[in-house]
Amino acid sequence: MPGISSSNLAIAGGAAPLGVLSHTPAARATTPDVDWKQVAQDLAPMACDLGAASIRRKSRDFFWFSPVLSHQLSDVAADIVVTPRDEDELVRLVRYCVGRGLPLTPRGAGTGNYGQAMPLYGGVVVDLTALNATKWLKGGVLRAGAGKSLLEIEEEILPHGWELRFHPSTWKTATIGGFVAGGSSGIGAINYGTLPQAGNVLGLRVLTVEDEPRFIELRGPDVCKAIHAYGTTGLITEVEMALAPAIRWSEFVVSAPDIMAAARLADRVAHADGVIKKELAAIDWGGARYFDDFLPYMREGQPVIMAIIAENSVEPFAQMVAEAGAEIVFSRGPDEDKLEPAPLWEFCWNHTTLQALKHDRSITYLQILFDAPDHLDKVARMAEVFGDEVPVHLEFARVDGVVKCFGLQLVRFTTEARLEEIMRYHWSNDCPVFNPHTYVLESGGGAVADPAQFALKVEVDPYGLLNPGKMPGWGAPSGGFASRVA
């Protein structure tokens, strides 16, 4: 789930007086009346794009999943898109922008949500996709350029017997740097939790945005200062990730009599350590009904479990399904092609929302933590209260040894006031909401800064030029740029 990480969960429980964190970036006398053609000339031979259509395209992400952000951010656009070829060009670009007080918003593939990759104050979008070299692969660890796509990474590591520990459902397009800076977890969360769990991200090479830019290496717990920080705490140029042994996976769609039967079955499989799995989602019919590719297989009106199971665990999995009174309605072995239906993960995580949005543009979603040990009771209570207004979509994860559910519930949106009411109700019933309807980085569900991320920000971005407007408590960029948010 994009917004939920263990670092911000810790803060949700910790309740430090975080709202008091604030900072005014160092002053830098510049004017927002920049001659962008001149900027492009100054930066030559760096690739600079001033075309209105490509600027608009590269200034957007999937903010439109939220009806609230859809309205606020529709006119947000950069002034120029710059694509450095290597670290030397990136350093030159940063030095130039710092000298003139120009805002810089990093970008991978632009599959992020909540406007996290959108340049709220205009300026430069830094396309990092050309920093895509594999640095090395050894002992189950990969070091790669931040702009490398997850798909390319997996194609490279599979022949060596490794696969990604987890990947977002946007695996086909997302970059590894964008995933680290903007994502949280995905397919594989049931084994490895989320990005901040110790041992997943081993190292990050980060460029500071100072008069004289420096590279710093974040390792150990320090990587969390740049994970899910939307690039506000430095430009990531390299990511070092621990991998998982490659496994031959089979895909299953299971029909269950009702959503709680589906949730209980998924939970049982999640807890069965001898059953090797990569994905377990329980989705009520209110969401599954939009899965065009699987409609011919599904039972009308019945919720589904979407499961990815190791080839050698299929038999015990099938037995658990039968014992639960559920039924496998679709299966696909490891060697079968994944063209039609599309890969199963493209119906999980936030792709569930995407499938629904293809049918009904009024649908949106929430990100809710149903924490253990009574996670299923909480799901049942919320399902009872909201029914088909908030169709249940649960992603099962094992976080620091504990199985819990991330709810990416769909919402049949009516008004902002009702959306707020739904979120408040969850909060007051011990189900924290990580609000996907704000572009401001959130810790623990409130618009407060993570102190560790904030401290790194103070160090690496003294003029507040990096992705301005996203970190709570942080003033506008120093150059006098105006917000482009409606």
Binding site for ligand FAD (CB under 6 A): 2, 61-62, 105-113, 116-117, 128, 146, 168-170, 174-175, 177-179, 181-186, 230-231, 235-236, 349-351, 354, 467
Between 193 and 264, CB nearer to ligand FAD: 193
242: left (phi over 0), alpha (psi -120 to 50) or beta: beta
Residue in 399, 456, 459 with CA at minimum distance from that of residue 200: 399
Beta bridge partners of 141: 138, 242
Between 127 and 284, CB nearer to ligand FAD: 127
CB neighbours (10 Å) of residue 89? 18
Between 326 and 465, CB nearer to ligand FAD: 465
- Return the amino acid letter for 29: A
Q: What are phi and psi of 36, to 5 degrees?
A: -70, -25
Q: Which residue is nearest to ligand FAD (CB)?
A: 178
Q: What is the C-alpha to C-alpha distance for residues 199 and 202, in angstroms, rounded to an integer?
A: 6
Kindly state the smallest distance separating residue 54's Cβ from ligand FAD, in Å.
15
Kindly state the smallest distance separating residue 321's Cβ from ligand FAD, in Å.
24
**Contact between residue 258 and residue 319 where contact means Cβ atoms under 8 Å apart:** no
Q: What angle do CA 239, 245, 251 make, to 5 degrees?
A: 105
Between 255 and 463, CB nearer to ligand FAD: 463
C-alpha dihedral (348, 350, 352, 353), degrees to nearest 10: 180
Between 112 and 122, CB nearer to ligand FAD: 112
Q: Which two tokens stand for residue 121?
A: 């104050």
Between 69 and 260, CB nearer to ligand FAD: 69
Kindly state the smallest distance separating residue 349's Cβ from ligand FAD, in Å.
3
Kindly state the smallest distance separating residue 288's Cβ from ligand FAD, in Å.
16
Quote the crossing angle between the two packed helices 259-271 and 375-386, to the nearest 10°: 160
Between 172 and 268, CB nearer to ligand FAD: 172
Task: Could you list the beta-strand ranges (E) of 47-109.
Answer: 47-49, 80-83, 104-107
Kindly state the smallest distance separating residue 319's Cβ from ligand FAD, in Å.
29
Quote the crossing angle between the two packed helices 314-323 and 259-271, to the nearest 10°: 140
DSSP 8-class letter at 471: S
DSSP codes of every residue in 345-397: GGGSTHHHHHHHHHH-TTEEE--EEE-SSSHHHHHHHHHHHHGGGS--EEEEE
Q: Which residues 6+ apart lie within 8 Å of 186 measured at CB?
A: 166, 167, 168, 169, 171, 345, 349
Kindly state the smallest distance separating residue 287's Cβ from ligand FAD, in Å.
13
Q: Which residues 6+ apart lie within 8 Å of 142 measured at CB?
A: 134, 136, 153, 157, 162, 240, 241, 243
Between 260 and 411, CB nearer to ligand FAD: 411
Task: Could you list the beta-strand ranges (E) of 139-189.
Answer: 141-145, 162-164
**Contact between residue 110 and residue 129 where contact means Cβ atoms under 8 Å apart:** no
Q: What is the C-alpha to C-alpha distance for residues 366 and 376, in angstroms, rounded to an integer?
A: 17
Between 282 and 321, CB nearer to ligand FAD: 282
Between 109 and 326, CB nearer to ligand FAD: 109
Kindly state the smallest distance separating residue 204's Cβ from ligand FAD, in Å.
9
Between 103 and 112, CB nearer to ligand FAD: 112
Kindly state the smallest distance separating residue 149's Cβ from ligand FAD, in Å.
8
Q: Which two tokens stand for residue 199?
A: 């041992």
**Contact between residue 469 and residue 34 where contact means Cβ atoms under 8 Å apart:** no
DSSP 8-class letter at 27: P
Between 177 and 324, CB nearer to ligand FAD: 177
Kindly state the smallest distance separating residue 52's Cβ from ligand FAD, in Å.
20
Kindly state the smallest distance separating residue 146's Cβ from ligand FAD, in Å.
4
**Contact between residue 64 and residue 182 where contact means Cβ atoms under 8 Å apart:** no
Kindly state the smallest distance separating residue 109's Cβ from ligand FAD, in Å.
4
Kindly state the smallest distance separating residue 116's Cβ from ligand FAD, in Å.
4
